Amino acid sequence: MKHLCMIFLAGLTIFFVGCSSRPAEPSSSVSPSLSSTMQTSSVGEETCYLVKTEEDLRAIGSIYPLSGHYRLENDISLTQEWTPIGSPSHPFTGSFDGNGYTISHLTVTKEAEHMGFFGASDGANIQNILLSDVALPETVFFPIVSESVDSDIVNCSISYAS
């Protein structure tokens, strides 16, 4: 009975916090927003998400599925520390085509086990990614995908920050 009461109270807390009428405080950080919608294109029967902004890139895995198909549509310069896409417990399983565009200023300073542009992938197709001015700890050996299982990683390149 005590356990059920705790679950009920936790549910009420989540409900009331989630339904708060107080406006959100402005923030200068770049984070995915539910109000923004990534454009899509159809490739055969597949939907391809068109990544055009840093916000779009950061939305992969939080708003948009880790199993989605993504294509970069222009160069993106990151303004904040990067959080890798996917993790060993929730790997990226879709496709990402850098389309010959550059993602610059990829920076990760928080020491973590899985660091890189992708934290982990499984059965993914990752291609044509150009990373420039990358700043990662020297212990990172695989900056495109930190941990990869049965994934194709083709035509990707990295240049490190001076």
* pLDDT by residue, tens only, the chain of 162 residues: 444 434 444 443 333 333 333 333 333 344 444 445 889 998 778 899 999 999 999 999 999 999 999 999 999 999 999 999 999 999 999 999 999 999 999 988 776 667 889 999 999 999 999 999 998 876 666 788 889 999 999 999 988 887
Q: pTM, whole model, 2 decimals?
A: 0.74
H/E stretch holding 3: helix 2-18
The number of CA neighbours under 13 Å toward the Cβ of 156 is 19
Pairing of strands 69-72, 46-51: parallel
User: Over the stretch 95-128, which tens digit does the pLDDT of each residue have?
Assistant: 999 999 999 999 887 766 678 899 999 999 999 9
Distance CA 24, CA 12 (A): 20
Q: What does the pLDDT read at residue 22?
A: 31
pLDDT score, position 141: 66
Q: What tens digit of pLDDT does each residue of 17-30 get?
A: 333 333 333 333 44
What backbone torsions phi and psi does residue 40 show, to the nearest 5 degrees?
Answer: -130, 160
- Domain boundary assignment for the chain: 39-160
